[in-house]
A and B are shown apart, each in its own frame.
Chain A
């Protein structure tokens, strides 16, 4: 979805930036969005207060609130996915194939997770 949306906006997002903090995704305000997201999910509320102020300046208040809303929403929906063992949606197009390869999703295996953690 990130790659498709970035292409729709005229650039190619670097998907590796999702899992590697030292890379720039190419998305506007990428580093600030990263900090907002990480502080939210890691519950670093004092740090988040500073980034929230910065976000209000850079994204305006509504943009800052919306960014926190997206992070909060996905903090919940990832739990639904993890608790139900749903398989990946295999959209059999070239873009989907590339994304699964570049992010390593193809290597994901619930059974391996079970073998590792019980």
Chain B
């Protein structure tokens, strides 16, 4: 990964992305490795999906129905969720979450979001550097076996958040923000995403050749472009 560029990719970022890419191909708690790889392929395909393009132009994404252009054998609710979160996060609403969780578990939901978010980070970074997107291995076909119930609590989100004292404290935040608690129902999903993300932000021990205000300006601008208040 990142072998064909002269630009200085930080070794720790290169390594963490490689780790995450390998982990995606392994069976997780709620999806097989094969499914997780398919989730990434689906996220990529969504960017060219005719239905998603029509929905982007509509006043509401729910005003347009139809079938997604899908290159995988994932079930249609799964495909729809992936395409929505990849292509139109600003208009992602609680009803989408509730619809999905009427037929799937919160564990499946959280792990899927983590995998999609990792693919967004890795693919966006590659493309921004002018690099080809990294290939994925086929993925492990072993069936997922779930994981121990996490200590969570109702804290006003759509889903239960990790209890404060269960949240990771090694990422350099002065206080534990809700974003760290968001995927707390599935600790392995938290680990996967923040292994991917941690070198993208000037947290404790993560050097960047930018002033903190420059980092915060970029982060804030991304949030505004994606219409994410958080």
How many A residues, CB 8 Å from partner?
A: 71
Residues of A within 8 A of B62 (CB): 117-118
- Interface residues in B108-145 (C-beta closer than 8 Å to A): 110, 113-114, 116-118, 120-122, 124-125, 127-130
CA distance A77 to B117 in the complex (A): 7
Residues of A within 8 A of B120 (CB): 72, 75-76, 79
Chain A: CB-nearest residue to B60: A117
B222 at the interface (CB under 8 A from A): yes
With beta carbons under 8 angstroms apart, the residue of B91, B208, B230 that contacts A70 is B208
Residues of A within 8 A of B177 (CB): 89
Contact A66 B213 (CB under 8 A): no
Residues of B within 8 A of A19 (CB): 224
Contact A41 B225 (CB under 8 A): yes
Contact A74 B47 (CB under 8 A): no
CA distance A40 to B95 in the complex (A): 29
Residues of A within 8 A of B204 (CB): none
- Interface residues in A10-61 (C-beta closer than 8 Å to B): 11, 13, 15, 17-19, 25, 27-30, 33-34, 36-38, 40-43, 45, 48-49, 52, 56, 59-61
- Using known A-B contacts A33-B218, A64-B7, A70-B219, determine if residue A76 contacts B124 with beta carbons closer than 8 Å: yes
Contact A79 B217 (CB under 8 A): no
Tell me the smallest distance from the CB of B154 to a CB of chain A, in Å: 11
Residues of B within 8 A of A52 (CB): 128-130
Contact B47 A42 (CB under 8 A): no
Contact A9 B212 (CB under 8 A): yes
Q: Which 9 A-B pairs have the closest CB atoms?
A: A73-B200, A85-B158, A76-B121, A81-B230, A72-B125, A118-B62, A5-B212, A78-B228, A74-B222
Residues of A within 8 A of B (CB): 1-2, 5-6, 8-9, 11, 13, 15, 17-19, 25, 27-30, 33-34, 36-38, 40-43, 45, 48-49, 52, 56, 59-89, 91, 105, 108, 110, 113-114, 116-118
User: Besides the contacts A83-B85, A84-B159, what 4 more A-B pairs have beta carbons closer than 8 Å?
Assistant: A72-B122, A79-B113, A84-B183, A87-B155
Residues of B within 8 A of A (CB): 7-10, 13, 47, 60-62, 85-86, 89-95, 97, 110, 113-114, 116-118, 120-122, 124-125, 127-130, 155-159, 161, 175, 177-179, 181-183, 193, 196-197, 199-201, 208-226, 228-230
24 contacts across the A-B interface (CB closer than 8 A): A5-B211, A5-B213, A9-B211, A40-B127, A41-B225, A43-B47, A49-B130, A61-B7, A62-B209, A66-B10, A71-B222, A72-B128, A74-B219, A75-B222, A78-B230, A79-B120, A81-B230, A82-B228, A84-B113, A84-B158, A85-B97, A87-B155, A87-B156, A117-B60
